[in-house]
Amino acid sequence: MSDLGPYVSAHVPVLRLGDVLLVTLQGDLYDSTAQQLQQDIADTITSSGVTGVVIDISGMEIVDSFLGRVLAEIAAQSALLAARTVVAGMRPAVAITLVELGLTLPGLHTALNTEAAMELLARTAPGSRPGPQSAGPR
């Protein structure tokens, strides 16, 4: 398997792009598949040493309370394994639903799309400083 090869989680591909795992969720995600994905992401972080996880949910029409909880658990597990999680592509209806369900999703960062999520992870990579970078002492 190549460095960019997919790790398949019960029909959910997990792609490694350098130091980031990219997971694209589309359509309905069964509870057992979501739980297996959670385990596969944790195992892949441990075995590969990636520092970021991007979960693209732009293909999801609905995110229920179970999937919202799974996303929060993935973020918490990833943080314990020294990786940051960003959810990308959340539709307005999904955001409204999550707020109405009272899900706060601690530790989970969001971005409008996958490209913005990758940029967010690059900006906050270990060793980098948040905020504007200076060219040197003044």
What would the pLDDT profile of 74-133 be if each residue is shown by its tens digit? 999 999 999 999 999 999 999 998 899 898 887 789 999 999 999 999 997 654 433 333
CATH topology of domain 6-123: Transcription Regulator spoIIAA (3.30.750)
Q: Which ranges of 2-137 would DSSP assign to H, the alpha helix?
A: 31-48, 65-80, 92-100, 114-123
pLDDT of 11 reads 66
Report the interhelical angle of 31-48 vs 65-80 (nearest 10°). Answer: 10
CB of 110 closer than 8 Å to CB of 87: yes
Mean pLDDT of 19-42: 90
Pairing of strands 109-111, 20-26: unpaired
pLDDT band at 61; cut points 50, 70, 90? confident
DSSP reduced 3-state for 71: helix
pLDDT of 126 reads 59
pLDDT band at 7; cut points 50, 70, 90? very low
pLDDT of 16 reads 94
Q: Tell me which H or E stretch contains 24.
A: strand 20-26
CA 16, distance to chain mean position in Å, is 12
Considering 27-36, 48-57, 68-77, 99-108, the range whose residues carry the highest mean pLDDT is 48-57
